[in-house]
Structure 1
């Protein structure tokens, strides 16, 4: 590859692979499906990188190398799951013990919570109930494993009128094709148009040819009202409505400016800010035979499309989703470099180390074969003869085999145990090198001997690179999950779901569990002393216990339980305020009944 063809981008760490060496059509020898005419050239390197990484994860890197012509003996390559172990280990550390949805200010300890606290608590409970129904921890694990292995993960959100809630779905990033704005040079930018596209195989039984399916989300100015229509041949389309004068017919609630022709809409989450933008959804299919080499993914001819119809009979041809954002979230495994939008996989920088490890394992397998069944040289032995041919029969080494040797005969065995020991030592060296360069550390991968560490502080220092790695990975995701939870709130508002009032969306976060074991006894002692001395609030103390891994499902409920048994604190509150109502509210007791019998208290020394 000449200097003019040297490419430095988000996938340059794979350029040592011959399948990625061609900057124009990478992988053309290995994967014929990547050369489909509808796939743009600028996306081929990314898709080829995904395919290579998936092969490493499934122990097929050797087979892939053989298919692409990189290694004629790739099928004999030994792969023992090292790449998959690194990804799964990093996934466990990233997710932590559990994930919870939290809204700042939802936990409150006091007499009367403010309206803001009540609202935050209500939204938090609704989001947690939604997460339980949509199996959020499972979806997060699906998307995050893609992000760790391939560098990217994709979520989509959709309102389901039948279920009355937002549906969450994860996608293979190989199906994700965004169109970035021309001035979008920052990794935090959001595209104005996004496609999810893939090929559907031929189905001879149903008489269907090979097709291309494309789901498109597009932010565009609000258009006229529309309805289901049909074209010649019976195909379903969407018709936009205009009156007799040619003016657009608007949906109830939208406003048309007669002068400019701009249609505006007030969304529930921004009642004071009318918007002229909405998101349109299109879901269509094209027969592959109808497409030419000039028909690329981003501009497929709509007149050749067959649009899908939703379960409620809505035609998915520029269907107005009635939201001013694209309900799709793209997760990156790392913080993208300036000018990039794609993440870097966890095994990216150690991929060559995994190749070396696989090659050493292959050599070790060969050496162990000659060590367990050594090569033996015989001299002066009387070998059995094949009576039909008169030739000596092949000699096999078996337990109890006896050879008769002539005078001066000898037997020599080839000892390869020294080479096998050296190869095993090289395997250990490579594993340590991979652990260090991936920043998962030998302690994090479980290959470090616990007795080699003199103290817990030494273990903490050994896990230092892992701590910084997980902190950077979570930093790359925190904003994206905050956006996802904001979209969940807004789609429920747009669908007029029960219990989701109009108003600005509250900032919700996905909280990660601790990624390394914590000294829970030390944390508990710290909380008891801090809360008892008055230097820590009950809310902060309970949050510290949750972060330490204590089984506290609902922090607010836990605070209320603690207060309902804090009789000494209630007594001090009574002495300070002389307010019985405040004390009862603090303990969570109901108001006394008017017909309750009141028993007078006698002074000390009185009759009893």
Structure 2
């Protein structure tokens, strides 16, 4: 690459590749489809990088090198090192499990706690904290939805693509037939965000997002090559529309006219009296009307109808063929009844200022992987000459082919015997020393690879456990891995918060979840390194016993350490049902039997009848009905009690009375 063509951008680490030598036409020899007219020119370099990284992941880097002019590319040995790096990084990123958590849900009491508190006449002693019941309800709904949508599988699909390519994309769509939100993942090569003119920070959420790819020709079905584009776009709320058909039979959407002939509004929409703009109050924002909605368009274009003047962002609307959804809705600017684009882009790393795209985990070590593959190739050649050495014969009597009379080819095989003359000799080429050196070089490069990727030799599994003097030394050795995973999870944290907020709102728009403000929900990753569970258990016992930790926090620590705790609230409830010592201390502190029964998860006890031990004694029920009469009766009871003492005939003094 000449100096005047030097390009420094988010993919500069790939500039050394011959396939990327031309910044204007990257990969034009290996990936000619990238340079089709409909592909936007600024995105071609990114798409070429995605394809190149996929070739490394599938052990096809040698084929890629051969396609770009390397005559020895097909001889390249690829032993799966890139795929191992991707899978290892993915495993540490995801941890043992992924859990949806709504803050405050763990503080919700048992289902009967509030009822017991109300019957006991207490206002707040047994009631859960404000919002805890709602948080628990939302958490349960989100987890149920995640189970139906195969949440762990979708995360595996998207995050592996993010680790390999640097980017991953989720889409959310309301499915009327299933009455829930569908979660799907897309290859980032299909993702084309579009920002408005003058947008200064491309890390901001785009106002328009496209998904586009080519559909090959199908001669059996009589289909020509096509381009499919799915577009999500934010725009002002318009009049109501309905499916229609043009004169040439194409499905489109048409405005619905009212009784007076004017465009009708969707049910629930209103006109602003001053601006005349259509407004809508969404269920997640009560009292805050919005004038924005999201439109969905899904259409196809024939490649033969597209020329050099048309790219992805300017496809001719008159040539479009719109798709129809399962419920009969034509996907031509269909109003999705939400004021956000249900698309979430997940970068693998924290993007630089003003950038939108992440960096692949293979990016900075790609040349090292090439060196490793080259050394593996040399090692394979050296091992061939070591296992089957080159032999030089002198003064040997070679076997003759009886048919042709020519000497037969000489091969070194087990049991082969040659007759040598008195001055004959046999020499073998020994390449074992070179093979040993190549193996040492491979070990050196693997150590360098572990260091540069920050996965460490311990993380890659090449560290001998016997060489680690203590657990603290192992923890120090895993320090770079901890910082790597922390940075990767930081880049994803707010993305999953945004996704779970969208899931709540789309279910509210579908009128299957109650309306109200969306609660913050987050994805909790599992531990990425082995945890000393014995130490964690000792800390929990000591901290909870000393009153430093709450029971909810203690159970959460055990869950994160890998103990089989499925739900924190349920585990707390089980523990409290058997905590008789704590219940006894609660009874001593409050004297409230109802509070103790609520703490143990027991139903409210029936009131016990009070029987007077002395004739004429006032019961608590009578005392509550007439306090003055109870006071006089109590005095008479005390007098009678003193006169009834054996050996006492009656009161002796006024004080006794």
What band does the TM-score fall into relative to the shorter chain? over 0.9
2:533 corresponds to? 520
Q: Does structure 2 retain, via aligned residues, the 8 Å contact 1:109–1:559?
A: no
2:368 to 347, 353, 357: 353
2:216 to 201, 210, 213: 201
Question: Whole-Å Cα distance in 2 between the matches of residues 155 and 104 of structure 1?
Answer: 24
Q: Does structure 1 retain, via aligned residues, the 8 Å contact 2:95–2:525?
A: yes
Structure 1 residues 553, 599: CA separation in 2 closer, same or farther (over 3 Å shift)? farther
Q: In the TM superposition, what whole-angstrom CA distance separates every residue of 1:258-308 from its partner, at most 9, and x where no partner exists? A: 553310100000012110000000000001111101110011001000000
Map residues 41-60 of structure 1 onto 2, 5 A cutoff.
41-60=41-60
Question: Whole-Å Cα distance in 1 between the matches of residues 303 and 218 of structure 2?
Answer: 13
Q: Does structure 1 retain, via aligned residues, the 8 Å contact 2:13–2:363?
A: yes
Structure 1 residues 28, 277: CA separation in 2 closer, same or farther (over 3 Å shift)? same
2:81 corresponds to? 82
The alignment partner of 1:483 has SS state of helix
The question of 1:391 aligning with 2:390 is answered: no
1:507 corresponds to? 520
- 5+ residue gaps, structure 1, are 602-608
Map residues 468-483 of structure 1 onto 2, 5 A cutoff.
468-483=483-498
Q: In the TM superposition, what whole-angstrom CA distance separates every residue of 1:431-490 from its partner, at most 9, and x where no partner exists? A: 111110001111000011111211111111110000000000000000000000000000
1:37 corresponds to? 37
Question: Whole-Å Cα distance in 2 between the matches of residues 341 and 585 of structure 1?
Answer: 53
- Kindly state the Cα deviation for residue 2 of structure 1 after the two structures are TM-superposed: 3.0
1:535 corresponds to? 548
Q: In the TM superposition, what whole-angstrom CA distance separates every residue of 1:31-82 from its partner, at most 9, and x where no partner exists? A: 121111100110001000000000000000000110122x111111000000
2:648 corresponds to? none
2:114 corresponds to? none
Map residues 317-332 of structure 1 onto 2, 5 A cutoff.
317-332=332-347
How many residues were matched structurally? 597
Q: In the TM superposition, what whole-angstrom CA distance separates every residue of 1:283-334 from its partner, at most 9, and x where no partner exists? A: 0000111110111001100100000011111000000000000001000000
Q: In the TM superposition, what whole-angstrom CA distance separates every residue of 1:499-525 from its partner, at most 9, and x where no partner exists? A: x21111000000000000000011011
The question of 1:219 aligning with 2:234 is answered: yes
Question: Whole-Å Cα distance in 2 between the matches of residues 518 and 231 of structure 1?
Answer: 65
Between stretches 456-465 and 233-242, larger displacement belongs to 233-242
Q: Does structure 2 retain, via aligned residues, the 8 Å contact 1:185–1:338?
A: no
TM-score (norm 1): 0.96
The alignment partner of 1:349 has SS state of helix
The alignment partner of 1:227 has SS state of strand
Question: Whole-Å Cα distance in 2 between the matches of residues 435 and 452 of structure 1?
Answer: 17
- 5+ residue gaps, structure 2, are 110-125, 614-657
- Kindly state the Cα deviation for residue 164 of structure 1 after the two structures are TM-superposed: 1.1
The alignment partner of 1:49 has SS state of helix
Question: Whole-Å Cα distance in 2 between the matches of residues 539 and 244 of structure 1?
Answer: 60
1:382 corresponds to? 397
Structure 1 residues 597, 153: CA separation in 2 closer, same or farther (over 3 Å shift)? farther
**Higher Cα Rg, which structure:** 2
Structure 1 residues 184, 334: CA separation in 2 closer, same or farther (over 3 Å shift)? farther
Question: Whole-Å Cα distance in 2 between the matches of residues 98 and 232 of structure 1?
Answer: 55
1:551 to 530, 550, 564: 564
Map residues 422-437 of structure 1 onto 2, 5 A cutoff.
422-437=437-452
Structure 1 residues 185, 545: CA separation in 2 closer, same or farther (over 3 Å shift)? farther
Q: Does structure 2 retain, via aligned residues, the 8 Å contact 1:179–1:192?
A: yes
Question: Whole-Å Cα distance in 1 between the matches of residues 258 and 540 of structure 2?
Answer: 69
Q: Does structure 1 retain, via aligned residues, the 8 Å contact 2:108–2:136?
A: no
2:253 corresponds to? 238
Question: Whole-Å Cα distance in 1 between the matches of residues 430 and 229 of structure 2?
Answer: 62
The question of 1:572 aligning with 2:589 is answered: no
2:189 to 174, 180, 198: 174
Q: Does structure 2 retain, via aligned residues, the 8 Å contact 1:202–1:209?
A: yes
- C-alpha RMSD over aligned residues: 1.6
Between stretches 108-117 and 329-338, larger displacement belongs to 108-117
- Kindly state the Cα deviation for residue 183 of structure 1 after the two structures are TM-superposed: 4.3
- Kindly state the Cα deviation for residue 547 of structure 1 after the two structures are TM-superposed: 1.1
Question: Whole-Å Cα distance in 1 between the matches of residues 288 and 6 of structure 2?
Answer: 49
- Kindly state the Cα deviation for residue 421 of structure 1 after the two structures are TM-superposed: 0.2
Q: Does structure 1 retain, via aligned residues, the 8 Å contact 2:195–2:202?
A: no
1:606 corresponds to? none
Map residues 195-344 of structure 1 onto 2, 5 A cutoff.
195-242=210-257, 247-257=262-272, 259-344=274-359
